Amino acid sequence: MIDIKFLRENPEAVKENIRKKFQDSKLALVDEVIELDKQSREAKGKADDLRANRNKLSKQIGALFAQGKRDEAEELKAQVSAQGEALETLEGQEDRLSKKVTEIMMQIPNIIDPCVPIGKDDSENVEVEKFGDPVVPDFEVPYHTDIMEKFNGIDLDSARKVAGNGFYYLMGDIARLHSAVISYARDFMINRGFTYCVPPFMIRSNVVTGVMSFAEMDAMMYKIEGEDLYLIGTSEHSMIGKFIDTMIKEDELPKTLTSYSPCFRKEKGAHGIEERGVYRIHQFEKQEMIVVCKPEDSKMWFDKLWQNTVDLFRSLDIPVRTLECCSGDLADLKVRSIDVEAWSPRQKKYFEVGSCSNLGDAQARRLKIRVKSKDGKYFAHTLNNTVVAPPRMLIAFLENNLQADGSVRIPEVLRPYMGGQEVIK
């Protein structure tokens, strides 16, 4: 959510930003919220004047009673009573207008970074850099579930009976590999100075609306029936929510946390053949990283965060590339985002395995995450990035480490987490 003062003073800049995100249907919201904000501030001004006048009259009433001027005191009491009714009306008006302003402001997209390429959707994202040499072996690479099934490592049929489509049982060495990747990613981030955390896996609605847009919420979140609780779609939601309504001392920044959690997503929409198996699912586990920092440091942390993911994948001998997300592919709260994609030898192309986002002060403004400095108070900047999400990452891992005899090589850094195994046979 952008600053209402900025919108008030720069309406054309906000409209141009909306156009860059190809959301022209929201252009009218700018003028609407400016008018509502004006009415809200006028109502507040009148209410403040009435409160000040009532306080003044109340003091006069006390003085008049003390002087024995009862009739004059009663006249002023009648005025105070009448003004009380008017004040109640104004306060109701002020509250309604303020809520409406907030509702509209939460629909207006954040101002994107000047470096963000302009484009309508993810097909116009721009490749930034490649890391590692993509290899296509001289033997056929099977579909990832076929590889897993050869090791008796996945059972989709039983999962469908138990929970429906979009779920899975991982078994044996494949299940162990899944856990090994999570444990390795945890220690990888701890070694980079991040504090490890296991957060709540459910959050309240005020946290949900603080960390994401209404459209994202509807498309992703599962609500617990009869309770004000949602299952998290990523631990970023719970981790940023940890700082809700807090005042952080500037010298305590940055806050750098890495978290483990299961994640739950609706994943609405039709899925193609490349998105079956464990690519697009309703339940998975993930290691995440988040940063809460000073505004002037957020660009530096953004570059550090996506580099962490690149370095982790390269340590597992998986070639990756980074993509700068275009304006139309950015969620409304994001200032900038870079996707990390892993090489698929079977498809002979890259596919997404992580996303790094800078949200500026949008989440902090919604959740009231403030910083206290010697010069005053301001909203923090928040960032997040996927360290690794093993079900999807397993696809890249298995394809890139598959050997001609059907076995899977275990990179050296992962062997301690696999009981010393060098291959899965």
* Predicted local distance difference test score (pLDDT) of residue 113: 96
Residue type, 422: E
Q: Is position 111 within any domain?
A: no
137 and 99 belong to one structural domain: no
Q: Is position 112 within any domain?
A: no
412 and 356 belong to one structural domain: yes
* 218 vs 331, more confident: 331
Q: Is position 359 within any domain?
A: yes
92 and 130 belong to one structural domain: no
159 and 275 belong to one structural domain: yes
- Asked whether residue 81 carries a pLDDT value surpassing 60, the answer given is yes
Name the band, by pLDDT with cuts 50, 70 and 90, for residue 270.
very low
Pick from 105, 136, 171: which residue ends a domain? 105
Pick from 105, 130, 153: which residue ends a domain? 105
What value does the mean pLDDT take over residues 78-90? 72
CATH of the domain at 195: 3.30.930.10
48 and 165 belong to one structural domain: no
* Predicted local distance difference test score (pLDDT) of residue 85: 73
Q: Is position 299 within any domain?
A: yes
* Predicted local distance difference test score (pLDDT) of residue 390: 86
* Predicted local distance difference test score (pLDDT) of residue 269: 53
Domain count, the chain: 2
154 and 275 belong to one structural domain: yes
pLDDT tens digit string along 131-189? 999 999 999 999 999 999 999 999 999 999 999 988 999 999 999 999 999 999 999 99
- Asked whether residue 276 carries a pLDDT value surpassing 70, the answer given is no
pLDDT tens digit string along 397-410? 999 999 999 999 99
* Predicted local distance difference test score (pLDDT) of residue 39: 92
Q: Is position 110 within any domain?
A: no
- Asked whether residue 62 carries a pLDDT value surpassing 90, the answer given is no
Mean pLDDT, all residues of the chain: 91
308 and 172 belong to one structural domain: yes
209 and 277 belong to one structural domain: yes
- Asked whether residue 214 carries a pLDDT value surpassing 80, the answer given is no
Q: Give pTM, 2 decimals.
A: 0.88
* 73 vs 334, more confident: 334
Q: Is position 113 within any domain?
A: no
Q: Is position 151 within any domain?
A: yes
Q: Is position 55 within any domain?
A: yes
Residue range(s) defining the domain that contains residue 17? 4-105
